[in-house]
Amino acid sequence: MYQTLYRKYRPRNFSEIVGQDSIVKILKNSIKNNHISHAYLFIGPRGTGKTSTAKIFARAVNCLNSNDGDICGKCDGCLASINSLDIIEMDAASNRKIDNIRDLIDKVNIVPSTLKYKVYIIDEVHMLTNEAFNALLKTIEEPPDYVIFILATTDPQKVPATIVSRCQCFNFNRISENNIVNNLRMISENENIKVSDDVLKEIAIISDGGMRDSISLLDKVSSFSNKEITLDEFLSLNGLITNDEIDNFIKLITENKFNEVVSTLESWNDRGTNILQVMIQLLNYLKDKIVNSYVSSKKINESYLKLANLVNNNLSSARLSSNPKIYFEILFLNFMDSENKIISREIISDKNVSNKIVGIDKNGLENNISQKINSNDNVSRETIENKNNNFKKNISREIISDKNASNKIVEVKKNDFNNNISQEIIEEGNPESDKKSGLSSNKKFLNSNIKEIMKIRVNNAFCEASKSIKNDYISLFKKLYDFSIDPEIGGICGTLCDGKIAVASKNLVVITFDYEGIVVENYPNISKMESIIKDKLGIVVKIAIISVDDWKVYKDDFIKHFKNNEKYDLIKEPELVFNKENNVADKSNSSVKVINNDSNLDEFSDILDVEN
């Protein structure tokens, strides 16, 4: 009968154990110096050598002619220990009840039949019940002189502290990729398996530090073909994708090709690909690209950094999802949508960059205007043409007035331009359109006191902020992901999830965004955000949205106050006023009432621990 490779190449002495050199050295020295403990606890991920080391150690303590603490393999003790009744291996997953432990305790008092030591190896010990652990406690603490317990677990948190404190603990590390590749190469040469180094490296990556998993994958490869298996064949065999597919997928995301991204994820899912494993591949690929750029002193692609952070921050949540494919579809669509808005607004608003080109799709504009004329009887052609001309004039003034730009051409995204024109037309013909859409035009906010209100809210948040409140809000806001596909509120929920909660008090949450353009765009949506939070999370709270750059200024000011032992004062928030110019948030402003707050800043010092 065929014997699987991982059983055939299981280590039989300490010298064959891979990647656990320090543990092997300690165990060998304890045997040489006769400092053998009565109980050991081996902790580590699966496939790292815990059970194999336990079996080797059980034979080594019974070896009569120990070779530097290792098994000689020739003495009566070594030969007898191969199938001896004095080395008992017990699976705690299937023998977890108190009756099983009582039976073990009864047999402990029986002296060894052929060996010097009677060794009990209890695998997956964390599966024992609390009653079983309590019954075992006294025996582990004071066993007979001829008894040694070796406990192995992949989940040490479930092992009671009273058991752990009575054992010598050894932490088995994940085996490095180089050690796995070298061991697989040795096995493939011995078994005449034709496999390339690229495949061996991919096996080492997939096995995640587990030698048993890697050898099982090699065994699977050996059964696939008598010829040398290629990397593409191996990836396809194991439900993975090629580097070319990953590279193309990243391009689709960075180029905001919504339909292609969704269809690609759909095709991977249809052919049985493990989406979670593909995302790990994607993360590793991005990491390699970023590291290579850094090592070669090239400019790091910012899109790679953002995408890597996005995938890394959401992998754990995706594992808990009932449908990871849908989870990542929504995640990438939100990412592309936010990036799309940022880029279009940065291009228009940046007046300090030279040689920018403004290209407007006239055909798209005219078609859009024509559609609005046909669909809206209340809007005259003259009104639309005036808006078209005014828009062109505004673009021209911006180009001419920019003293720092030469030959500047502004690139306006067709959809954004059409949407802006369409929105103006609808507002002209139907004043109630704003209310129906749930979104307001942000033009009128540019000349309002909204920034003053945001600054006051940040100030008031500092007055009563705490780390625990902030963490509570972070946990609650994650629930908004569930509404990101809602056709009415999905966009605003996605925006809230994209932001980062910087500081929070009981009634105020300050959210930061990477770019000022996102902040300005969402000024009209603040009340809508607060309404959604109230309806969906059941919380009445005020929102302040600011850019990361503004947050740095506020944070530095907070630190300055803190070091000077100065207090913050609550400031009465003014009403939103439009058509105001040069509003400055100042405590001395006559429209702002200062309410003294006697609380000392020391009460809120934990904010610095979070934000510094």
pLDDT tens, 341-387?
555 444 444 444 444 434 434 444 444 444 443 444 444 444 444 44
Mean pLDDT of 94-112: 90
Q: Which residue has the tokens 């799309």?
A: 340
How many angstroms separate the CA atoms of 64 and 453, rounded? 82
Cα 406 from Cα 396, distance rounded (Å): 13
Q: Which has more confidence, 212 or 595?
A: 212
Higher pLDDT, 396 or 1: 1
What pLDDT is stored for residue 340 in this prediction? 61
Q: Is the pLDDT of residue 601 over 50?
A: no
- Through-space distance between the first and last CA atoms of the chain, rounded to whole angstroms: 63
User: What stretch(es) of the chain map to CATH 1.10.8.60?
Assistant: 177-237
Q: How far is CA 478 from the centre of its chain?
A: 13
What's the pLDDT score for residue 27?
93
Residues 147/176, Cβ–Cβ less than 8 Å: no
Q: What pLDDT was estimated at residue 341?
A: 56
- What is the pLDDT at residue 292? 83
Residue 230 is classified by DSSP as P
Does 136 or 342 have the greater pLDDT score?
136
Instruction: Locate 101 and state its tokens.
Output: 């432990």
pLDDT the model gives residue 477: 87
CA angle 462, 468, 470 (to 5 degrees): 55
Residue 68 has pLDDT above 60, yes or no: yes
Rounded CA-CA distance 302/162 in Å is 50
pLDDT at 543 over 50: yes
**Weakest-pLDDT range from 386-390, 425-429, 557-561:** 425-429
In single-letter form, the type of residue at position 518 comes to: I
Pick the CATH number of 5-171 from 3.40.50.300, 3.30.930.10, 3.60.20.10, 2.30.110.10: 3.40.50.300
Q: What are phi and psi of 3, to 5 degrees?
A: -105, 125
In angstroms, rounded to a whole number, what is the distance separating the alpha carbons of residues 70 and 346?
Answer: 67
Residue 32: both structure tokens together? 């040489």
Of 130, 169, 173, give the one whose Cα is nearest residue 152: 169
337 vs 595: which has the higher pLDDT: 337
Residue 93 Cα distances to 152, 162, 285, angstroms: 12, 20, 38
**Do 463 and 479 meet the contact criterion of CB atoms below 8 Å apart?**
no
Phi, psi (degrees; rounded to nearest 5) at 512: -105, 150
> What's the one-letter identity of residue 560?
K
The mean predicted confidence, pLDDT, of the chain is 77
Residue 231's pLDDT is 82
Task: Measure Cα distances from 225 to 7, 185, 215, 221, 278 in Å.
Answer: 22, 17, 17, 7, 24
Residue 336 has pLDDT above 90, yes or no: no
Q: What is the pLDDT of residue 44?
A: 92
From-to residues of CATH 3.40.50.300 in the chain = 5-171
Question: Given pLDDT bands bounded at 50, 70 and 90, which one contains residue 161?
Answer: very high
Q: pLDDT band at 127, cuts 50/70/90? A: very high
**CATH number belonging to the domain at 177-237, selected among 3.40.640.10, 3.40.50.2300, 3.40.50.150, 1.10.8.60:** 1.10.8.60
Give the pLDDT confidence score for residue 129 in this predicted structure. 92
In the three-class reduction of DSSP (H, G, I as helix; E, B as strand; rest coil), residue 40 is classed as strand
- Lowest-pLDDT choice from 113-122, 487-496, 499-508, 586-595: 586-595
Task: Give per-residue pLDDT as tens, 465-482.
Answer: 888 888 888 888 888 877
Of residues 34 and 411, more confidence is placed in: 34
Point out the least confidently predicted range of 75-79, 371-375, 605-609: 371-375
Contact partners, residue 405, CB within 8 Å, separation at least 6:
351, 352, 353, 354, 355, 356, 399
Q: Which tens digit of pLDDT belongs to each residue from 434-466?
A: 433 333 445 556 567 888 888 899 988 888 888
pLDDT for position 439:
38
For residue 229, the 8-state DSSP code is B
pTM: 0.53
C-alpha distances out from residue 202 to 196, 246, 254, 290, 351, Å: 10, 15, 26, 19, 48
Measured distance CA(99)–CA(103) in Å, rounded: 6
Amino acid (one-letter) located at 360: I
Q: Which of 108-122, 452-466, 545-559, 581-595 has the lowest mean pLDDT?
A: 581-595
- In this prediction, residues 167-190 reach a mean pLDDT of 92
pLDDT, position 125: 93
